Amino acid sequence: MTDRRGFLTAAVGTAGAALLPSISKAQEPFTLEKLPYAFDALEPHIDAKTMEIHWGRHHKAYVDNLNKALAGKEDLASKSIERLMIDVNSVPAAIRGSVINNGGGHYNHSVFWSLMKKDGGGEPTGATAKAIDQAFGSYAKFQEKLSTAAMTRFGSGWSWLVVNQMGMLDVVSFPNQDCPLSAGLKPVMGVDVWEHAYYLKYQNKRADYLKAWFNTLNWEVIGDRLAQATRKD
């Protein structure tokens, strides 16, 4: 289950995690939540400096700019980030672009942090493995499809594993900070391929970053997200 900032509650507060201080004002409608691990927890795959800048500067900027865009609009600011992005077409045209960019940036990154952990990676098991095998043929084929979507995303954007409108697993790619929720999709996991996510360590070698990123995955959280996305109420 996710909270209003986009985090899976099961991911936040992991036992033994070095939680980092929130740096947004408490009275603002959206806040930059603590990472569920230390900056260096994902090394050697993702370096500490990249995590520090990515979370503390880039994600913070999305949160701050979203709050600015929603200033004085309590009806929108009171929504969860999920509902705001699902209903983004109802946002007034004058601020819709800012909400798409900054609200999407906030939601996308909140999900992204929760998908990784110290000593992560390996292959999925149980229901998650079965679902991936049924949809893509094997985990290796899924990795290839997600990586191809990420590699062929020109410029900045994301590659996502989603549950589509037909209730099936699919891989999609979106530019910039466009959010899968706004397209009627249920995101299960996604990888950030903006250069700020990897350039300090990998420079222009996006493929090397993607290969390393699979070694950080928190399959428990991903499995919970998949179960939630496919649940029939």
Domain at 225, CATH number: 3.55.40.20
- Using 50, 70 and 90 to split pLDDT, how confident is the model at 233? low
In a domain, 189, yes or no: yes
As for how many domains the chain has, the answer is 1
What's the helix, strand, coil split of the chain in %, to 5?
50, 10, 40
Decide if 230 contacts 167 (C-beta within 8 A): yes
- Cα 108 to Cα 127, 179, 192, 222, distances in angstroms: 24, 7, 8, 14
**Statement: residue 17 has pLDDT above 80:** no
Which domain, by its residues, includes 171? Answer: 126-230
In a domain, 65, yes or no: no
In a domain, 176, yes or no: yes
Q: Is 192 left (phi over 0), alpha (psi -120 to 50) or beta?
A: beta
pTM for the complete prediction?
0.88
In a domain, 160, yes or no: yes
CA distance 61 to 165: 31
Closest CA to 5 of 149, 100, 109, 75: 109
Decide if 171 contacts 210 (C-beta within 8 A): no
In a domain, 213, yes or no: yes
Helix (H) or strand (E) holding 8: none
Q: What number is the average pLDDT over the span 22-46? A: 83
In a domain, 214, yes or no: yes
In a domain, 204, yes or no: yes
Q: What number is the average pLDDT over the span 191-197? A: 98
Residue pLDDT, tens place only, 125-162:
999 999 999 999 999 999 999 999 999 999 999 999 99
In a domain, 191, yes or no: yes
